[in-house]
Amino acid sequence: MTTLRLILGDQLNPCHSWFAAPDPNVVHVMMEIRQETDYVRHHAQKILAVFAAMRDFAAQLKSQGHRVRYVAIDDPSNRQSLTGNLDALIRHYGATTAAYQAPDEWRLDRQLADWAAGLSIPCQMTDNEHFYTARGEAAAFFGPRRQWRQETLYRQLRRQHGILMDDNGEPAGGRWNFDADNRQRWRGDPPEPLDPRPAHDHSLLWQTITDAGVGSFGQPQADALRWPLNRAEALSQLQAFIEHALPHFGAYQDAMSLRARRLFHSLLSFALNVKMLNPRETVDAAAAAWRAGRAPLAAVEGFVRQVLGWREYVRGVYWARMPGYRDCNALEHSLPLPRWFWNGDTGMQCLARAIGQSLEDAYAHHIQRLMVIGNFGLIAGLSPQALHEWYLGVYIDAFEWVALPNTLGMSQFADGGLLGSKPYAGSAAYIGRMSDYCAGCRYRPKQRVGADACPFNALYWDFFRRHRARLAANPRLALVYRQLDKLPEAERAAITARAAALQANLDAL
Ligand code: FAD
Ligand code: SF4
């Protein structure tokens, strides 16, 4: 009687009940497959970090007495497909039952459900024991509402789990939201904390990956890979974040600077998304730091909102709207990505920095993703699907359940406003306010038209002109339309002409 249990590459949770005690009748299967390296073109560090973390996890399980069959990318028996390998291994071990943890991506969920339905042995899907909410919980909570506000679900989860709540049922500090305290520009003080992550030498593994013919882009940094590759490393990174960065997380969470890559962000998304860390322990650690007086409430609330609020919320949107969500394009944008998305070689300093950093580190923080890269894609009219593929490939933390709602919904308004009450569009004024990017840029942030004018400006105003029919009735955009309509006719015409010229030659920017 042998059971085959599948562990996916983003299910590296040693605290899962599967691993409570070794069982000689259970074989745990892990596999490095071209199906997963090739469904989109990935950043080199993403492939390397996932494989290295999987290998570390398999070694840990073995050392605890679990049986593990690890199919490496260059294993001659590797069929390079999930179900091809599973079928072969069921035969090989004479397995009488199979099991897998609920996948977080729709594509794998479907593939495994279809495969399981055709099996001649029983196969069970079990909870992956990671999230606060069940897959369908957000959909049940929002019901038929046209707009799903993150804030509503977030408050419900705070109440339900008693996080940052007073005994009288009110939010700690008497407010749910400290966003107004959290929008400061960073001028170098307090200093950016040291990067706490260890550097791993995985040159040999990288050689194996490239020898196997796996394609990628971005810098592998294989001899100094800076991502946590097991739970112990993830926990020490969490601790370093709580101690050194969390106290300033809130104040500077929207700030950007040429002098700092991460500022006070946690760099925890990879560890969370491959499930080395549980969201509960990150939220609890932050709340405990506030209770102990080691971090201000505004900072802790800002962080808790990201993990308990946004992360659970986007997952709910994903499961409620898939598979159709992937194709939504409410604004009918269709321009291809400019060439510089693949090398960062643009004269726009904000984009050169945000994209260049993404290619070097497989990481950019939220405001770089949303208000620089995503903002440009939105106002320039880039295809949301092409952008989604880029985001899904480039970031170390990108898995479809979280990347898709963030890119298509939050950043590109492609779902027509299910996720965001208005498009996240901004001109150079926003980027100049929140960063030091504009000083030294070849473009002039205060100009709207002319060869040296910042491209964000004409594209911003023209975006609202182009989408007047859909957006003008939105009360949150009333001021924008009043400002647009106040511009002299000739200036509006010049903006339209400048935007069209920019859109016709985005590669040249
Ligand atoms: P911190 O700023 O320190 O935040 C703490 C944690 O909160 C993160 O680790 C993450 O788990 C969670 N979080 C914060 N914001 C979000 C959010 N909007 N949605 C879900 N979780 C959030 N996040 C991903 O994990 N994977 C993605 O593929 C991804 N793609 C994105 C694409 C776009 C266009 C945008 C605008 C955002 C995307 N995000 C994604 C959300 C967010 O930018 C990243 O989670 C964050 O930058 C990761 O860095 P950090 O760990 O330093 O986060
Ligand atoms: Fe970006 Fe425009 Fe500022 Fe240059 S001037 S950094 S393009 S916002």
CA–CA separation, 396 vs 372, rounded Å? Answer: 18
User: pLDDT per residue over 368-387, tens digit each?
Assistant: 999 999 999 999 999 999 99
254 CB under 6 A from ligand 1? no
Q: How confident is the model at residue 145 (pLDDT cuts 50, 70, 90)?
A: confident
Architecture of the domain defined by 339-508: Orthogonal Bundle (1.10)
Nearest 5°: the CA angle 322, 217, 195 is: 90
Q: Which atom of ligand 1 is nearest to the CA of 253?
A: 2
257 CB under 6 A from ligand 2? no
438 CB under 6 A from ligand 2? yes
Which amino acid residue places its CA nearest to atom 52 of ligand 1?
Answer: 267
User: pLDDT per residue over 97-143, tens digit each?
Assistant: 999 999 999 999 999 999 999 999 999 999 999 999 999 999 999 98
Answer yes or no: is pLDDT of 471 > 80.
Answer: yes
Answer yes or no: is pLDDT of 144 > 90.
Answer: no
pLDDT for residue 183:
82
403 CB under 6 A from ligand 1? yes
Q: Report CA(129)–ligand 1 centroid distance (Å).
A: 20
CA 160 to mean position of chain CA atoms: 25
**Which ligand neighbours the alpha carbon of 404 most closely?**
1
What is residue 276's DSSP assignment?
S
366 CB under 6 A from ligand 1? yes
Q: How confident is the model at residue 180 (pLDDT cuts 50, 70, 90)?
A: confident
Residue span(s) of the chain under CATH 1.25.40.80 come to 137-211+226-321
Answer yes or no: is pLDDT of 303 > 90.
Answer: yes
Report which secondary-structure segment, H or E, holds 92: helix 82-93
φ, ψ for residue 335 (rounded to 5)? -70, 140
**Domain 3-126: homologous superfamily in CATH:** HUPs (3.40.50.620)
252 CB under 6 A from ligand 1? no
Assigned CATH topology for domain 137-211+226-321 = 1.25.40
Poorest-confidence range of 196-200, 277-281, 328-332, 362-366?
Answer: 196-200
Q: Are 372 and 351 in contact (CB under 8 A)?
A: yes
User: pLDDT per residue over 20-59, tens digit each?
Assistant: 999 999 999 999 999 999 999 999 999 999 999 999 999 9
CA–CA separation, 242 vs 248, rounded Å? Answer: 10
454 CB under 6 A from ligand 2? yes
Which amino acid residue places its CA nearest to atom 2 of ligand 2?
Answer: 454
pLDDT for residue 422:
94
443 CB under 6 A from ligand 2? yes
Q: Report CA(269)–ligand 1 centroid distance (Å).
A: 6
pLDDT for residue 262:
94
ipTM: 0.99
CA–CA separation, 194 vs 84, rounded Å? Answer: 45
CA–CA separation, 457 vs 499, rounded Å? Answer: 9
197 CB under 6 A from ligand 1? no
| Mean pLDDT computed over every residue of the chain | 97
CA–CA separation, 96 vs 119, rounded Å? Answer: 11
pLDDT for residue 502:
98
Which amino acid residue places its CA nearest to atom 7 of ligand 2?
Answer: 348
39 CB-contact burial (10 Å; exposed 0-12 / middle 13-18 / buried 19+): middle
pLDDT for residue 225:
97
Q: What integer is the mean pLDDT of 243-253?
A: 96
CA–CA separation, 221 vs 213, rounded Å? Answer: 18
pLDDT for residue 146:
81
pLDDT for residue 95:
98
Answer yes or no: is pLDDT of 167 > 80.
Answer: yes
% of the chain at pLDDT higher than 90:
96
Answer yes or no: is pLDDT of 182 > 90.
Answer: no
CA–CA separation, 147 vs 419, rounded Å? Answer: 7
User: pLDDT per residue over 385-440, tens digit each?
Assistant: 999 999 999 999 999 999 999 999 999 999 999 988 899 999 999 999 999 999 98
Q: Report CA(332)–ligand 2 centroid distance (Å).
A: 26
User: pLDDT per residue over 67-84, tens digit each?
Assistant: 999 999 999 999 999 999
40 CB under 6 A from ligand 1? no
Residue span(s) of the chain under CATH 1.10.579.10 come to 339-508
